[in-house]
Amino acid sequence: MRCWDTLRRLKRALKELIFGATVYDMAKTWADMIRYNTYAIMSVLFADTVGIPLPCYYRLRLLPLLMPQLNTWRRFVLKEKDITEKMRE
């Protein structure tokens, strides 16, 4: 049994190494793009909560879909940004 556990751990480590060397950066970039696009849509929906007046046409139709993410969006928008975070993007 101990040999099989070692082989499983080795296989998993090799799999993670290959993933990290080839696809990880692309997957992280894709996830960031999705998050920023969602936050852009939420900026249109909830701009009034931050003090930006925007006209709304589809706001009430999109509101139920994005309401659960309201707290994370508020933290993202109202968080102070550091120069090192700007350099990373």
Q: Quick one: DSSP state of residue 54? A: -
**What's the pLDDT band for 19 if we cut at 50, 70, 90?**
confident
Answer yes or no: is pLDDT of 20 > 70: yes
Domain boundaries, the chain: 23-88
pLDDT single digits (tens) 25-58? 888 888 888 888 887 877 777 777 767 666 666 6
Give pLDDT, residue 12: 93
Give pLDDT, residue 58: 64
86: three-class secondary structure by DSSP: helix
Rounded Cα–Cα distance for residues 58 and 17 (Å): 45
